[in-house]
Amino acid sequence: MGIRGYLYRVNRTQTLIPSAFALALAHSAISAAEKTVDFAREILPLLSNKCFVCHGPDSNKKDPLRLDSFEGATSDLGGYKAIDPTNLAKSEIITRINDADDPMPPEDAQKQLTAEERKLIERWVLQGGGYSKHWAFVPPVKVTPPSPGHPIDAFVQASLAEKGIAFASEADKPTLARRLALMLTGLPPQPELLESYMTDKRANAYERLVEQLLADPRYGEHQARYWLDAVRYGDTHGLHLDNRRGIYPYRDWVVRALNNNLPLDKFIEWQLAGDLLPNPTMEQLVATGYVRMNPTTAEGGVIPAEFQAKNNFDRTETLGTVFLGMTMICARCHSHKYDPISQTEYYRLLAFFNNTAEKPLDGNKYDYAPVIKVPADQSAWERWGALKAKRIDLVNQAEKLKSELYKKWEMGGREERFLALAKPDQRLEKLQKEATDIAKKIADAEANFTTTLVAKELGKPRETKLLERGEYNLPTGKTLQPDVLSAMGSIPKGAPRNRLSLAKWLTDSKHPVVARVLVNRIWQRVFGAGLVRTPEDFGLQGQQPTHPMLLDWLAVEMQSRNWDLKHMLRLMVTSKTFRQSSALRDGTDDPENMLWSRGPRYRLDAEVLRDIALWASNLLDPHMGGEGVKPYQPPNLWKELAHPASNTKQYKQDKGRMVFRRSLYVYWKRTSPHPMMTLFDAPSRESSCVRRSRTNTPLQSLGLLNEVQRVEMARMLAERLLKERTTDNERLNLLFTLLTCREPSKTERNACAKLLKTMRERYSDSEKEALSLLGTGEVPRDQSLNITDHAAWTQMAATALASDLALMLF
Amino acid sequence: MDNMNPLRESELMMTRRQLFGRAALGLGTAALANALGPNLLANTAGQAQGTHFAPKAKRVIYLFMSGGPSHHDLWDYKPKMREMFGQNLPEHVRDGQRITGMTSGQKTLPVCPSKYTFTKHENNDRGVWVSELLSHTAKVAKELAVIYSTFTEAINHDPAITYIQTGSQVPGRPSLGAWLSYGLGKVNENLPSYVVMHARSKFAEQSLFNRLWGTGFMPSEHQGVLLRSQGDPVLYLKNPAGVTGKDRRAQLDALTAINQEHFKEFADPEILARIKQHEMAYRMQTSVPELMDLSGESDSTFKLYGEEAKNPGSFAACCLNARRLAERGVRNIQIFHRGWDAHGSLPREHESQCKDIDQGCAALIADLRQRGMLDETLVVWGGEFGRTAYCQGKLTKTNYGRDHHPRCFTTWMAGGGIKPGITYGQTDDYSYNITDADGNMIRPTKGKWTPGTMHIHDLNATILHLLGIDHKRLTYRYQGLDFRLTDVHGHVIQDLIA
């Protein structure tokens, strides 16, 4: 269902209020009127949504009333108070929200209070009108799960029990294996792995499968994709000419970091400030590509100062989305309407990014400085690592030997010394030879290095001032020092005001939101939707977590377990909650799975759809990393849009195996990404995306069944089925096992048999058409195969690949 | 009940339950209507029911001139500039306007009158001056509302075009078309609701971006569908070689059987929705080629649009397609024509550009009128900004160039609830600044509407209004904010509305 469930139109929904309230209100209507109102959960979001526009952090000076704090709400407004603690019933707020003649919100306000909401506010005021902080701004504390056993299940079980619902039954073993493999690695389980799991009778067979998948290098590739969406990774600059940008080593670094399970706090620190670490490694520098990921331009005639500001806005606001789950954009022009972020604070935060050394305009250059030179793909990184290790090893050996020889020299008399001169030690010569060899190899490797954009601090910082209305040419007030958002902690006294301190603030265990935001997105990956269904907004306007205590428990667990991503994933996938059947349950009132009363089920992402088919057809090229690849694409799509001077005007399709690389590596032109990606909801990567939509359109059907690569994959899958199995039944078994980890049902088998029969009849009459079908794509068909069979099976495979069996995680 | 197909029954039940689930989350009624199909949205008269108020127009055709057409040479007649030929633009006229890096280094900003002849054409008001470059368009002057006072803040293409199409200068927001798709849903089940065409130009020197018809943070189903003049008219429309419609039917039957089996197990209404989408795709494979087949068009049509309309990808052909799409209920049609960015050789380039578009524009208006469709079809013509009164580069009597100009430029609207045959707004003698009715220079801002002016947010607000949508109430919540196409600005310009 994805994002569609959250469409929200104010005008039509004055009586249809967001879910958390709807639930809360439904409860309150039933339960006793005296039930204590939960300010943070029930009132604050209400005030934020309907009152803060005028009475919030950005209220104008004409209106003295502020409802975003107890002090504000109880201040004397000239003989009366919005909330009067001495006489609660006389509080102005109660009068005004019920005043027919002079109501609040005013009659012409977009957002009106419902009758239930008015009652709720009244009850809250009568109960004392107490305030507390928005939940997300209070650091999470470790809570004890409500019952023993798996902590996740304990929390979920508790809320299910309230509704009298039991966990759904566990999904069957093959379904679970498929779900798990797709979720962790983005590919179905290899047949051998599936087989070994199916026959593994040990009690921990499932856990063993989890470990095997977590250790698969495909894991890092798949998990990296979510991060690349969030940080808006692209292979082009993104604006105007949208020229090539050399930054793919960053993408490859993300894959490596995840495969090596780099703790997430380090993962963040290196990206924001790797260059500011003492003696940064090459990897730490590559990671700072994060800071350089914003779209840039060099359009003729643009004003550099304007883009210096725009680049910084983009970075500041992306930081807000990715780490803080917070919209920052309002505070660019005025203090935030809902969340406690003042305009000054926005510019203080921006100041951290205002000191980087790159020019504001990219010059349309691939190596938009500063850049460093690094190995060009994963195997080159491995070789480079080995060479560096070898170099260290040689020096160690040489040092040891030299000291031995020196000792000998020192100890020896003139005779021994003469002999040492006349007959140098063989071992030293050997080391020298090896060193010469390694030096040459290093030089060779370096000659093949590529460039990647990195962050570098300016020696002399740029001045940052607040920009009035967000206009680059209206700096006002005094120079602002870089600083963090005061609602979320502070930088330790004496710490440098640079990106490293910014990173340390984010990963501090006392930071209220970062761990929650990250853990929520991990949950979203695993379960298809977050505990907070608005992963991009944890602010006052965001949705409440379905299970607040669980979210906090997970956040603290992650922090206390060294920010270990694999541990968190392991925890989630081993839960009963994850292992439930994903079928919609009769008589269970949980259509949006807010209670997690069933397992995850959703349409897979664009990349996964392509990868599954590449994998099933044995076409997938395992090569990891390197410059983005260009598979088949309809002609002239780029040319129709691009500036004539753009170096991404021509789409030159790659040849050979590169066409079959994993979709993670498909070239990402931000102003025109691959159409099979955008058709299935991949974002453009011009701006941060932490939640993809999952739409369902007729154009997707056309793409699935007609695109060249899909057809080629279908005929290669057909070839595989024909070669590896001898009867139609066995072939169907293999086809279904590859896509669903199980054999077809009787109905499915019949439907497939019927299609095969029709297609065989049809193509036996027209070999020419069969050959045209089998000529789609560039891989030559196996000429030893019967043409009719191959064509009929191609149609069968194409159909299965377009069915929900290959589209859905279930 | 006994006669009821159990699967069908289950479908109905599940779908309904799912809808209740959605409703509790605060789904708008129009979106509900979308989920239930188009019939709730459009009654038998085809009038949208889900809109904020009765729409004046059922659809919009937006002719977008990418690059910034020169209002000086097409619409905004300023004979006094001739006396100032080559003299520096007075400082009080420039009045602090920032200048792009392309002309900020010039020693002088020489006034550059248009070399073209303007003729006054009768309209329903005081008449309208039109350049000789638009002789066809001039013939439909009585249908047009010509707006001299469109303005923007952006001075470079990428930000300016992103701004006018998405309401924000930086990427990430839904396009005007996406907002309309989201707000209005679709009428024709067999065609996309939002169609984008790229018309050919000799000077295609501006970049376009997917984002201009993209959805930003909205679900991607609202993105514009490219209708192309080469290859498949809609991407991936054609079956692969060696696959016929009959073959595809057999495939879809098997596909449906597999998916229904899947539905039996998982009861997910999305599965049923997908079965429907596969069927719609199948129908599109017939309806789109039928749409693109111009063989049924009469000679008089080609006389109206010109022979060029037989040439796929030409602007005239796109206009004819636009009319055919409009006839088939497509609500939202955009034609992008590039090449208006005339920095150096404006006469050569604009003459070619105008030749591309002039007859097509006029024909589209006349054709819609003769078919009785103009009153319900809003047609909009314009670019992302205008061009300077001063010359960029060397100024001669026969050749000149103009830089980007945001402070005023000309746009026209017609049909669909627009007052026909009027002009709106005034500019000074250099068409450099907007003026009030008395000719006094004014400096409108997006923050507050000034009568006689039209910020690009006002333009978008007015377009939405004519289609029955209140731009302040059509919101989409993302990151806790109720985003609008018009940000926190925009004013519906009633003076333009019939």
- At residue A58, the pLDDT reads 76
Mean pLDDT of A674-689: 96
A353/A502 same-domain check: yes
Identify whether B406 is preceded by a cis peptide bond (ω within 30 of 0): no
Query: Per the CB < 8 Å rule, is B219 touching A703?
Result: no
- Our CA-based measurement puts residue A487 at a distance from the nearest CA of chain B, in whole angstroms, of 18
Does A664 score more than 50 pLDDT? yes
DSSP H stretches of helix in B315-419: 315-327, 346-370
**Nearest residue of B to residue A317 by CA position?**
B479
pLDDT tens across A154-187, in order? 999 999 999 999 999 999 999 999 999 999 999 9
- Same domain as A291, residue A211: no
**Interface predicted TM-score (ipTM) over 0.85:** yes
- Tell me how far apart the terminal alpha carbons of chain A are, to the nearest angstrom: 13
Please tell me if residue A324 touches chain B, with a CB cutoff of 8 Å: no
Span A425-440, average pLDDT: 93
Question: How far is the CA of B175 from the CAs of A137, A663, A679, B217, B413, in angstroms?
Answer: 34, 27, 16, 10, 19
B245 lies within 8 A of chain A by CB: no
Instruction: Tally the domains of chain A.
Output: 5
Mutate to test the interface with A, among B13, B102, B169, B220 (most CBs of A within 10 A): B220
Domain-by-domain residue ranges, chain B? 1-36, 52-230+312-496, 241-297
Nearest to B220 among A591, A681, A745 (CB): A681
> Are A678 and B235 within 8 A, CB to CB?
no
Residue numbers of the domain that contains A99: 2-132
Least confident of A301-305, A336-340, B313-317: A336-340
- Which of B206, B211, B479 lies at the smallest CB-CB distance from A537? B479
Nearest in space to B57 (alpha carbons), one of B373, B390, B347: B373
**The two three-digit tokens of residue A44, written as one number:** 């604050």
Q: How confident is the model at residue B456 (pLDDT cuts 50, 70, 90)?
A: very high
Mutate to test the interface with B, among A317, A732, A803 (most CBs of B within 10 A): A803
Q: How far apart are CA A178 and CA A808, in angstroms?
A: 11
Q: Does A779 touch chain B (CB under 8 A)?
A: no
* Residues listed for chain A: 810
How many CB contacts within 8 angstroms connect chain A with chain B?
339
Same domain? For A386 and A358 the reply is no
A542 in B contact zone (CB under 8 Å): yes
- 23-42 of A, contacting B, C-beta below 8 A: none
Using CB atoms and an 8 Å cut-off, which of residues 140-169 of chain B contact chain A?
Answer: 155-158, 169
Residue A338 has a pLDDT of 78
Same-domain check for residues A42 and A103 = yes
A16 with B27: Cβ contact below 8 A:
yes
Whether the Cβ atoms of residue A621 and residue B182 lie closer than 8 Å to each other: no
What's the rounded Cα separation, in Å, for the pair B181 and A701? 20
Name the pTM for this structure: 0.88
A196 and A329 co-located in one domain: no
Provide the CATH number for the domain formed by B52-230+312-496 in this structure: 3.40.720
The mean predicted confidence, pLDDT, of chain A is 92
What residues does B454 pair with on adjacent strands?
A: B150
B352 has pLDDT over 90:
yes
State whether B20 and A591 contact (CB < 8 Å).
Answer: yes
pLDDT for position A323? 98
pLDDT at B20: 35
User: E strands within B127-199?
Assistant: 128-131, 144-151, 194-199
Q: What is the pLDDT of residues B319-332, one digit of tens each?
A: 999 999 999 999 99
**Cβ contacts of B171 on chain A, cutoff 8 Å:** 238-239, 295, 670, 684, 686-687
B10 in A contact zone (CB under 8 Å): no
pLDDT in tens, A78-93: 888 888 888 888 888 8
- At B191, is the secondary structure helix, strand, or coil? coil
Compute the average pLDDT of residues B169-198: 90
| The domain boundary residue, chosen from A422, A448, A474 | A448
Averaged pLDDT for residues B163-178: 95
Question: In chain B, whose CA is at the least distance from the CA of A239?
Answer: B158
Angle (nearest 5°) at CA B380 between B170 and B154: 25
The pLDDT confidence band at residue A360, using thresholds 50, 70 and 90, is very high
CB contact under 8 Å between B25 and A706, yes or no, is no
Query: Which of A303, A678, A687 has its CB closest to that of B98?
Result: A303
- Greatest Cα-to-Cα distance within chain B, rounded to the nearest angstrom: 89
Is A646 part of the contact surface with chain B (CB cutoff 8 Å)? yes
Residue B150 neighbours by CB under 8 Å, 6+ apart:
B382, B386, B408, B409, B410, B411, B425, B454, B455, B456, B459
Inter-CA distances, A39 with A43, A56, A59, A340, Å: 5, 16, 21, 17
Q: Convert the pLDDT of each residue in B386-427 to its tens digit.
A: 999 999 999 999 999 999 999 999 999 999 999 999 999 999
Q: What is the pLDDT of residue B53?
A: 85
Residues of B within 8 A of A675 (CB-CB) are 235-236
Is the domain of A415 the same as that of A498? no
Q: Which of A472, A474, A640, A739 has the most B C-beta neighbours within 10 Å, making it the best mutation to test the interface with B?
A: A640
pLDDT of residue A62: 64
pLDDT of the residue at A612: 98
What pLDDT shows up at residue B119?
Answer: 98
Q: Does A396 touch chain B (CB under 8 A)?
A: no
**pLDDT for the residue numbered A34:** 66
Using the Cβ of B20 and the Cβ atoms of chain A, whether some distance falls under 8 Å is answered with yes
Cβ–Cβ under 8 Å, residues A289 and A247: yes
Average pLDDT of span B74-101: 93
Pick from B165, B169, B226, B255 the residue to mutate for testing the A interface (most A CBs within 10 Å).
B255
B242/A769 CB distance under 8 A: yes
Shortest Cα distance, chain A CAs vs residue B362, angstroms: 25
Strands of A450-493, DSSP E: 450-453, 466-467, 475-476
Q: Name the DSSP letter for residue A43.
A: I
Q: Clarify whether residues A763 and A749 are in a common domain.
A: yes
Nearest to B28 among A12, A681, A800 (CB): A12
Whether A693 sits inside 8 A of B218 (CB atoms) is yes
Q: Is residue A90 within 8 angstroms of chain B, CB to CB? A: no
Do A211 and A227 sit in the same domain of this protein?
Answer: no
Instruction: Give the pair of three-digit tokens for residue A96.
Output: 């005004």
pLDDT over 90 (residue B124): yes
Give B-chain residues touching A336 at CB under 8 angstroms. none
- The per-residue pLDDT for A16 is 31
Can you read off the two tokens belonging to residue A553? 């428990």
The answer as to whether A352 is a domain residue is yes
Question: What pLDDT does A61 receive?
Answer: 61
**Cα distances (Å, whole numbers) of residue A646 to A244, A643, A666, B113:** 9, 5, 19, 33
Q: Are residues A795 and A736 in the same domain?
A: yes
Of A644, A708, A770, the CB nearest to B205: A644
Ramachandran angles phi, psi of B63, nearest 5° = -100, 100
Place of tokens 């809808």: B19
Closest among B349, B68, B178 to A299, alpha carbons compared:
B68
- Which tokens go with B408? 């005023």
**Structural element, H or E, at residue A503:** helix A499-507
Instruction: Inform me whether the C-beta atom of residue B98 falls under 8 Å from chain A C-beta atoms.
Output: yes
Token pair for B105: 């280094």
Distance CA A639, CA A632 (A): 15
The answer to whether residue A587 neighbours chain B at the CB level (below 8 Å) is no
Q: How far apart are alpha carbons B144 and B380 in whole angstroms?
A: 10
Q: Are residues A342 and A486 in the same domain?
A: yes
Task: Give the 3-state secondary structure of residue A182.
Answer: helix
Measure the CA–CA gap between A702 and A612, rounded to whole angstroms: 18
| B52:A339 CB<8 A | no
Query: What's the average model confidence in pLDDT over A652-675?
Result: 97
**Using the beta-carbon criterion (under 8 Å), do A303 and B220 form an inter-chain contact?**
no
The answer, for A600 touching chain B at a CB cutoff of 8 Å, is no
A529 pLDDT higher than 50: yes
Q: Is residue A145 part of a domain?
A: no
Rounded Cα distance, A132 and A435, in Å: 66
The pLDDT tens digits of the residues spanning A765-795 come to 999 999 999 999 999 999 999 999 999 999 9
Which pLDDT tens digit goes with each residue over B212-243?
A: 999 999 988 899 999 999 889 999 999 999 99
Task: For residue B422, give the H/E element and its range.
Answer: strand B422-424
CB-CB under 8 Å, B268 with A799: no
State yes or no: pLDDT of A389 exceeds 80.
Answer: yes
- The shortest CB-CB distance from B17 to any of A327, A591, A640 is to A591
- Mean pLDDT (chain B) is 89
d(CA B442, CA B445): 10
| Boundary-marking domain end, from A448, A482, A503 | A448
Is B258 close to A772, i.e. CB distance below 8 A? no
Find, in chain B, the residue whose alpha carbon is nearest to that of A754. Answer: B254
Do residues A360 and A509 share a domain? yes
Q: Is the pLDDT confidence value at A122 over 70?
A: yes
Q: Among residues A527, A561, A581, which one ends one of the domains?
A: A527
* Pair A287, A253: CB distance under 8 Å: yes
Q: Of A59-68, A370-379, A460-469, give the lowest mean pLDDT range.
A: A59-68
| Inter-chain touch B28–A772, beta carbons under 8 Å | no
Q: What is the CA radius of gyration of chain B?
A: 24
pLDDT beyond 80 at A668 = yes
Q: Do residues A236 and A207 share a domain?
A: no
**Residue of A19, A636, A774 lying closest to B25 (CB–CB):** A19
pLDDT in the model for residue B30: 38
Q: Say if the Cβ atoms of A9 and B31 lie within 8 Å.
A: yes
**Is residue A617 in some structural domain?**
no
Of A24, A264, A249, whose CA–CA distance to A123 is shortest?
Answer: A24
Q: Is A807 on the interface with B (CB under 8 A)?
A: yes
Segment A595-612 shows an average pLDDT of 97
A795 and B21 within 8 Å at the Cβ level: the answer is no
- Rounded to 5 degrees, φ, ψ at B65 are -100, 95
Q: Using a CB–CB cutoff of 8 Å, tell me whether B247 touches chain A.
A: yes
Percent with pLDDT over 90 in chain B: 79
pLDDT of residue A2: 34
* Maximal CA-CA distance, chain A: 115
Instruction: State how far residue A16 is from chain B, nearest Cα, in angstroms.
Output: 5
pLDDT tens for residues A239-286? 999 999 999 999 999 999 999 999 999 999 999 999 999 999 999 999
Q: Do B170 and A791 touch (CB under 8 A)?
A: no
Spatial separation of the C-alpha atoms in residues A343 and A470, rounded to whole Å: 9
What pLDDT is recorded for position B27? 28
CB atoms closer than 10 angstroms to residue B23: 17
- Contact between chains at B100 and A303 (C-beta distance less than 8 A): yes
| Residue A336 in this model has a pLDDT that exceeds 80 | no
| Residue A9 clears pLDDT 60, i.e. is over it | no
Amino acid at B351: E
- A539 → closest Cβ in B241, B265, B480: B480
